[in-house]
Amino acid sequence: MINDMKKFIAIVGSNSNKSTNRELLKYMQRRFQDQAEIELVEIKGLPIFKKSLDQFVPKQALEIAKKIENSDGVIIATPEYDHSIPAALSSTLAWLSYGIHPFVDKPVMITGASYGSLGSSRAQSQLRQILDSPELKALIMPSSEFLLGHSLQAFDDNGNLTNAAETKQLDGLFKDFLQFVEISEQLNHAHAINKQKAEQFSWDKG
């Protein structure tokens, strides 16, 4: 039944107007529409993270945080620049752990597309470390890398993946993510204390 469908937030990890990571998430949104409701969220327009005395958080970041909190899980598609995630994505995650903590115990699936052959593998590894930090404390699906290399040639004119093996892999990983989300819902016994620790954590305190 449609009321039982999971609701996921898919974060486009690029502020580029033309991004193959956005194309990948749009493809997932269409392909899995009978399995889950996937809403794309843009990080374009968010200012670079900066601490302030009043701990100001931009309205756009607060809106993204609310969407994450109200979702069953999050999908993030990241490009790779210089073996790392984009500055815009890093800044977004900083805002989303600055006085607000929507990622605590939230199931996350990491994907990524890049123009080269490695498919954002190093960026995805770095993103895992960031999401596992004390301020974010997300539940990242293990052993689930989807690495879309040569992404400029990966989609047809209709925005669909052309490689059958990659399509089959993504189908399997998404099914695993649905199951991971179900399991994660049962692993909530420490959620309250995890949230409290994230709120109290500070690198500035001695």
Name the residue among 21, 11, 13, 2 with its Cα closest to residue 155: 21
Is the pLDDT at 77 greater than 70? The verdict is: yes
> Would you state the pLDDT for residue 3?
58
Of all residues in the chain, the percent with pLDDT exceeding 90 is 73
> Would you state the pLDDT for residue 199?
82
Q: What count of Cα atoms within 13 Å lies in the side-chain half-sphere of residue 54?
A: 3
Mode of pairing for the β-strands spanning 6-12 and 73-77: parallel
| The token pair that represents 101 in the structure block | 């903590």
Is the pLDDT at 159 greater than 50? The verdict is: yes
Find which of 1-15, 30-44, 103-117, 136-150 is predicted with most confidence, using mean pLDDT. 30-44
> Would you state the pLDDT for residue 1?
39
Q: What is the pTM of this model?
A: 0.92
Q: What is the Cα–Cα distance from 25 to 41, expressed in whole angstroms? A: 10
> Would you state the pLDDT for residue 100?
95
Tell me, what DSSP letter sits at residue 73? Answer: E
Is the pLDDT at 133 greater than 50? The verdict is: yes
> Would you state the pLDDT for residue 143?
80
Cβ count near 131 (within 10 Å): 20
**Residues 32-75 pLDDT 10s:** 999 999 999 999 999 999 999 999 999 999 999 999 999 999 99
Is the pLDDT at 190 greater than 90? The verdict is: no
CB-based contact 85:13 (threshold 8 Å):
yes
| The token pair that represents 15 in the structure block | 């502020």
Instruction: Supply the CATH classification number for the domain 2-200.
Output: 3.40.50.360
Q: What is the Cα–Cα distance from 75 to 9, expressed in whole angstroms? A: 6
**Residues 78-130 pLDDT 10s:** 998 888 999 999 999 999 999 999 999 999 999 999 887 676 889 999 999 99
Q: How confident is the model at residue 27 (pLDDT cuts 50, 70, 90)?
A: very high
Q: Name the residue ranges covered by the structural domains of the chain.
A: 2-200
